[in-house]
Amino acid sequence: MSLEHIDIKVLRSFQALLDTDKLICYDNYSKETMADKNRVNKYLKRTEHIAEQYQNDPADNECFLAFDVYPMNTKYCTIIFSLCGITSHFFYVIYWNVVEETRLEDPEKFLCDLLANIFVAEIPKLKKFLLKFVLCRNSTVNERVIKMFAESRKTSRLFNTFPFICEPFDLRHQQLHNPYTQHAWKEILQGNIEQTTVREIFSKYRNVAIATENTLLQHFVEQFFYLTRDLLESRFQINLRLCTMERMDTFERIIRAHMKDFINKAVTRKVLFDLIRALIHIYGF
């Protein structure tokens, strides 16, 4: 049985809303404008909407760009770019698409081109938001994407302007038997770091990483040292607990939970595209 259309009103997450919120959500979902090219190619940018979501305190608008490729089923995947607050909890999907994986002849180049387009065409429109770094998962594909981005004449300047950081969760989970790694994670990503303590904290774990020849830990410490030092230029204290892929993980779990309702149905690319669009409106992403 094939599912050709999705009704936002039947989604369990929509039904969980209060009646007043249902009306607002459905109205926003129904009235969202899309060009023909968006409907045909199953992608959408939400830059104009995000530009209106800024806070009055500039520090609350500091953010990072996260991107991920998430397989929705055996045939289709979605590529998601989002803006995530550094000290605020906001998570805004700036771009997403639904593509057929087998038709991507060069996935790394496709992803690199998307990343470049977001930087060149979309980020400048978000004048109230201050982008600080880029975050992605630690994978072979992403390593190639970042390498291409760094070596391209069109984007090398951007690469040298913004830190590109790989998801640190992998390090934490892979080194559960290493007490130094676990302590570094807690102190760097869960504790408060001040201008007066930043060098002491990072030097301690850098020295441990070098002494134990733990290159993964050393890379993690060095990446987050430069980021922390940059963020502390405008404040006395910073907590990096939000500087992970956790909000992207949550969104992907939400997608996966809703996909279970279609487990016995063949869903079209359009249905998957509309499902993500509906969830963005329901959850305020």
Q: Give first-to-last CA distance, the chain, whole Å.
A: 31
Fold of 2-167+244-283: Nucleotidyltransferase; domain 5 (3.30.420)
166 strand-pairing partners: 136
| Average pLDDT value over all residues in the chain | 91
Q: Is the pLDDT of residue 182 over 80?
A: yes
Distance CA 38, CA 277 (A): 12
Q: What are the C-alpha distances in Å from 210 to residues 103, 205, 207, 219, 272?
A: 44, 9, 5, 10, 47
Alpha carbon 65 to its chain centroid, in Å, reads 6
Q: What is the DSSP string of 93-120?
A: EEEEEEEEGGG-S-HHHHHHHHHHHIII
Mean pLDDT of 242-270: 90
Mean pLDDT of 180-188: 94
92 strand-pairing partners: 83
Where is average pLDDT lowest: 87-96, 167-176, 196-205? 167-176
63 strand-pairing partners: 85, 131
- Which residue matches tokens 């990343």? 115
Distance CA 214, CA 173 (A): 15
Query: What confidence category does residue 1 fall into, taking pLDDT thresholds of 50, 70 and 90?
Result: very low
Q: Is the pLDDT of residue 52 over 90?
A: yes
Mean pLDDT of 232-253: 93
CA-angle at 122, arms to 89 and 106, nearest 5°: 100
SS3 153: coil
Query: What confidence category does residue 261 fall into, taking pLDDT thresholds of 50, 70 and 90?
Result: confident
Determine contact, residues 264/1, Cβ cutoff 8 Å: yes
Distance CA 119, CA 106 (A): 20
Mean pLDDT of 200-216: 95
**Every domain range in the chain assigned CATH 3.30.420:** 2-167+244-283
Distance CA 201, CA 30 (A): 51
| Phi, psi torsion values for 85, nearest 5 degrees | -70, 145
- Which residue matches tokens 């006395």? 236
Query: 99-111 burial, b for 16+ CB within 10 Å, e for fewer?
Result: beeeeeeebbebb
Q: How many CA atoms lie within 13 A of 199 on its CB side?
A: 2
Instruction: Express as a percent the part of the chain with pLDDT over 70.
Output: 98
SS3 142: helix
Contacts of 248 by beta carbon, 8 Å cutoff, 6+ apart: 66, 68, 80, 82, 84, 91
Global pTM value: 0.91
Alpha carbon 117 to its chain centroid, in Å, reads 16
